[in-house]
Structure 1
Amino acid sequence: MTPKDLVLALFSAAFLNHDPEAARQMVSTDYVQHNPQVPTGTEGLMGLISLVGQAGMTATTHRVITEGNLVVLHNTYDNADAFGASSLAAFDIFRVEDGKVVEHWDNLQPIPETTASGRGMTDGAVEITDLDKTQENKALVLGFVRDVLGGAAPENVSKYMDPEVYMQHNPSIEDGLSGLMAAIEAFAAQGMIITKFEPQFAVAEGNFVFVATDAVMGGEPWAFFDLWRVEDGKIVEHWDVVSPIPSEMAHGNGKF
């Protein structure tokens, strides 16, 4: 199986069929877990599968982005109260080696009833196009992250996006560059100033680019998992899942 096929099969076994023994066949014996609440290793995953099965948690996958041995799933979890809310938006990232899933990262965020832009956290475009532009689009997005979000050269923003064409799925931010800048100013006024924004890895496929970032906001550690869609050399759409990084975890692997 391809990495994508393997990850989708594992995800189906774990979160749709709640079948730990089927899932066990697809993960390595030294499976590395980065979800802060779940113990690392194969048995930690088996326990999670049993828990979500008992809770009746269901999952819907909206997008799948694959590059090399990394596979990103953009998901919604329902009946997810065991993880903090009845409905959660999530990004799950899996690493595949030698025909087994060997590592997992994720970020989860409660889905609010209303959003600033009127868009949901997971709706919008899904079609993967422009496969020949994957690396070009990846470089564009990483430049935007470095210059605009990381603050290296925010004056270059028009190089990366049309100020008027930026469809926003973050529930707190309105569309367009004006919406993004207004949100940054509002967060700063609340003391939520970003002082660190360091991408840990990026996964790109055609017109979609995912970036996982280790950040410090308001003096506290946060994880930003972002997905951007690129069209004709400009960023046009954005989804994210943002969560604080807890000081205590069920393992020693860290968030990243």
Structure 2
Amino acid sequence: MEFKLGLTMFQKLCFICITLISSMLLHAQINIHNKANLDVVKGALTEMFDQSNVGLVDEYYSDNYRQHSPSIKDGKAGLVSAIKGMKDNNVSIKRDIIRTLAEGDLVYIQSRVSFAGGPSKVVVDLFKLNKGKIIEHWDVVQDEIAKAKSVNGNSMLDGDANRQVSSHYLENNKQVVKDFIEKGFAGDVKLLDSLFGDEYIQHNPYVPNGKGAVLGFLKNGGFVADIKQIIAQGDLVSVLVEYGRDGDKFHNACADLFRLDTNSKVVEHWDTCMSMPDESEFAHENGMF
């Protein structure tokens, strides 16, 4: 009897060990995959686009590349044409990459970018990859507002680090942000209030710190907020969102970035927004999203 009980306990311990090892191996594989995708995107931005090196386009981009950036034509040919145009007009690019996220087939890059020595812009690029090649790209661009002019005393790009969390928290954090955007902004103020942490650090230069300003904005009702893409890594979650519709008081494309605490409460927010271009302004037929 004792021998059988011992064998059963041994089998249970073996099962636990195998499960833990499998989980660790899967986590390692995911990290390797995410890093590989991030390296591809960084290369495409800093080695090809910023350096006007069109000879690298086949290394980084798929033949089926789909473009959503409004001013650049579709496909690899459109990208090459845009890069050659900047080079011919001596448009240099200075880029400081601030934050990156990589999850699954998506990579998020938040940067401070200056074109031809002009005023700095906050740029969020979102890339989709397949088999190590970029197959789709979205971006949102906004003029950077100086920290001295921000109503909250924060810059548009400073802030906390990206604390690593378990996959369980990652999925939970994504759901919190989905509820925050799609239900809270739709007018469920009680739910929205419950999703904030004890502090709420704001990096939108026009909005004060604290949840009061956000909740106050909804006192006359909510608005349409449609999440198009979502990506998470560590304690950060980013969403590409269409706010409003044609004919509404506002109709914007925004890349929102949220930091969540250990209780999956929203405690910090960055956003990069631009007005939705008119259909006639697009260099392709793919739309903003």
- Displacement of 1:65: 0.7
Paired residues in the alignment total: 245
Q: Structure 1 150/52 Cα, relative in aligned 2: closer, same or farther at 3 Å?
A: farther
CA contact 2:65–2:134 (8 Å) conserved in 1: yes
RMSD across aligned positions (CA): 2.1
- Displacement of 1:220: 4.6
Higher helix share: 2
1:158 match: 193
CA contact 1:31–1:41 (8 Å) conserved in 2: yes
For the residues of structure 2 that align with 1:126 and 1:20, how far apart are their CA atoms? 34
* 2:142 partner amino acid: Q
Higher strand share: 1
2:161 match: 126
CA contact 2:124–2:140 (8 Å) conserved in 1: yes
1:108 match: 141
> Which residues of structure 1 form unaligned runs of 5+?
none
Matches of residues 159-174 of structure 1 in structure 2 within 5 Å? 159-162=194-197, 164-174=198-208
CA contact 1:62–1:126 (8 Å) conserved in 2: no
Matches of residues 1-256 of structure 1 in structure 2 within 5 Å? 2-53=36-87, 54-79=90-115, 86-113=119-146, 114-132=149-167, 133-151=169-187, 153-162=188-197, 164-182=198-216, 195-216=223-244, 218-232=248-262, 233-247=264-278, 248=280, 249-256=282-289
| Partner SS state of residue 244, structure 2 | strand
TM-score w.r.t. structure 2 length? Answer: 0.78
* 1:158 partner amino acid: D
* 2:56 partner amino acid: A
CA contact 1:209–1:228 (8 Å) conserved in 2: yes
* 2:233 partner amino acid: E
For the residues of structure 2 that align with 1:121 and 1:80, how far apart are their CA atoms? 21
Moved more, 89-98 or 13-22: 13-22
CA contact 1:150–1:197 (8 Å) conserved in 2: yes
Q: Structure 1 106/49 Cα, relative in aligned 2: closer, same or farther at 3 Å?
A: same
Give % identity: 26
For the residues of structure 2 that align with 1:229 and 1:72, how far apart are their CA atoms? 15
| Partner SS state of residue 90, structure 1 | strand
